[in-house]
Structure 1
């Protein structure tokens, strides 16, 4: 099997895999199943990343009305479709390959429910916001699958959700500097992907089997999270007979204090206490929560 290599720049210090574990299914929302790899007991926080879920949900299960403050959620659909609705009047549906980058900021209440029959699958990543951005107004960036920048060359395909790869860049704006790449490697391909040296980075394998970090490493299969150590980039080999698909995510650490209470993420306990009061009293960003229900809840 002939190996091909593609790179914008050579990796001088490959990032090793310093930790690896399998994300096992757990219940979340109402009847939904997620494989949580960040935000669990073994890895509560990987600055600036709070949660990574690979979710699977079929109607009537889902994620009904719930609040957020202080961070961003990135929902990337793999199969089926999910409808999002919030108390500010925003409503939309994202299907396979589509992306929603939601900045919760000072407060949002929303629902995420299946929009089609069968099983809906996707990834949701929570990215922390710096103290100067935690109380900004909510906003959305929604990108259809056809509009996601994609490059394919020499047996390697990458969908560039955030950041840059193979000479192309995503139009997504990230307040917390972030790299989010969806790679598919054909059998025999070999990838070198630069990552800023000061950033934290991880890989989550979706399909297939690959060797990551070091050519002598044992193969990694689907549903495994790999934390990457220091270095200037990631090296990957697909020596199997089937395609390998994984996401590579990196981010600039915030280096700030973190206090989390469920869907609220702030810098101090006092800010969390204030957030709970704001939500309970429908003030300071949660005013529209007082008499709002999603259509999914109304129809129940």
Structure 2
């Protein structure tokens, strides 16, 4: 992917993700999947979560989309006699729901886990990037998503800037984790943490850190599906009839929900890091 950007993408909308309670005592900042922004094709939900034991998210069913859970810090495991491991301290991370096209909505579930040391990483000119999905600075992620997606974690030192290409036809957004930055236009006002920035048309993102502190944000882009979306909680299909069938399948433990009969949730959150 060339680093030449002819048409920088402007910021066309800005949303602040405010904290709310979710699950069993967890705190979530939801930026996509809320009233003001229910869907940004192909993205259904983006949550920044914070969980301290014994709070967490109980087991729950999914159908019709894939999730990417990205821990923002290492998990500190503590000994526990239960089968489900427990972790110390407050765990923070991001969870992204990516919609699946109609041909993939009924595929068998799969799980890809990547440890922190295995995430592709590069740095130059005061900028560090971790490539969760897609490509940046000439390095690629081994993670594969059914819906073509880029997911990049950037950290910019004071005074640095980036120019990151994005496929022209893709939708893309920025979510700021720490610090404040200037995006799209060097004369724009800086934007601070917990803001979601929807990017307009163009072939790449330009961003600057004009502050005296580190700036950290994720850049996410994906190929739009352009299909009807009917959502009922964690079920995302193309029609109401498919949603009704999904509910019936779940109630009857059939068509992919066979193991739901034996789920036993604990008040904890467990993600590999």
**Match for residue 70 of structure 2?**
76
TM-score (norm 2): 0.93
* DSSP-derived class of the 2:251 partner: helix
Could you tell me which residue of structure 2 aligns to residue 273 of structure 1? 244
**Is the contact between residue 14 and residue 231 of structure 1 (CA under 8 Å) also seen in structure 2?**
yes
Given that residues 26 and 35 in structure 1 are in contact (C-alpha distance below 8 angstroms), is that contact kept between their aligned partners in structure 2? yes
Asked if residue 31 in structure 1 is aligned to residue 2 in structure 2, the reply is: no
SS for the counterpart of 1:116 is: strand
Partner of 1:163: 134
Aligned with 1:66 (options 44, 55, 60): 60
Structure 2 residue matching 1:64: 3-state secondary structure: coil
Question: How do 1:141-180 and structure 2 match up within 5 A?
Answer: 141-180=112-151
Show the counterpart of 2:154.
183
User: Matched residues in 2 for 1:92 and 1:185: separation?
Assistant: 37
Structure 2 residue runs without a partner (length 5+):
78-82, 268-273
Runs of 4+ off more than 4 Å: none
After superposition, where does 1:10-29 map in structure 2 within 5 Å? Answer: 10-29=4-23
In 2, Cα distance between equivalents of 1:140 and 1:241: 40
Q: CA RMSD in A?
A: 1.7
How is 1:190-201 mapped onto 2 (pairs within 5 angstroms)? 190-201=161-172
- Quickly say closer, same or farther: Cα 1:170–1:80, change in 2 above 3 A: closer
Shift of 1:66: 0.9
Where does residue 122 of structure 1 map in the other structure? 93
Number of residue equivalences:
262
Equivalent position of 2:80 in the other structure: none
- Offset of residue 59 of structure 1: 1.2
Are 1:8 and 1:167, in contact at CA under 8 Å, matched by a contact in 2? Answer: no
The CA deviation at 1:133 is: 0.4
Aligned to 2:213: 242
Is the 2:8–2:204 contact (alpha carbons within 8 Å) kept by the matching residues of 1?
yes
Secondary structure of residue in 2 paired with 1:173: coil
Whole-angstrom CA distance in 1 between matches of 2:161 and 2:55: 40
Higher strand share: 1
- Structure-1-length-normalised TM-score: 0.84
TM-superposition CA deviations, 1:98-118 (whole Å, max 9, x none): xxxxxxxxxxxxxxxxx3122
Question: Unmatched 5+ residue regions in structure 1?
Answer: 1-6, 84-90, 94-114
Instruction: Determine the C-alpha separation between the residues in 1 that align with 2:131 and 2:262.
Output: 39
Q: Greater CA deviation, 284-293 or 216-225?
A: 284-293
Write the distance in 1 (CA, Å) between the matches of 2:75 and 2:172: 28
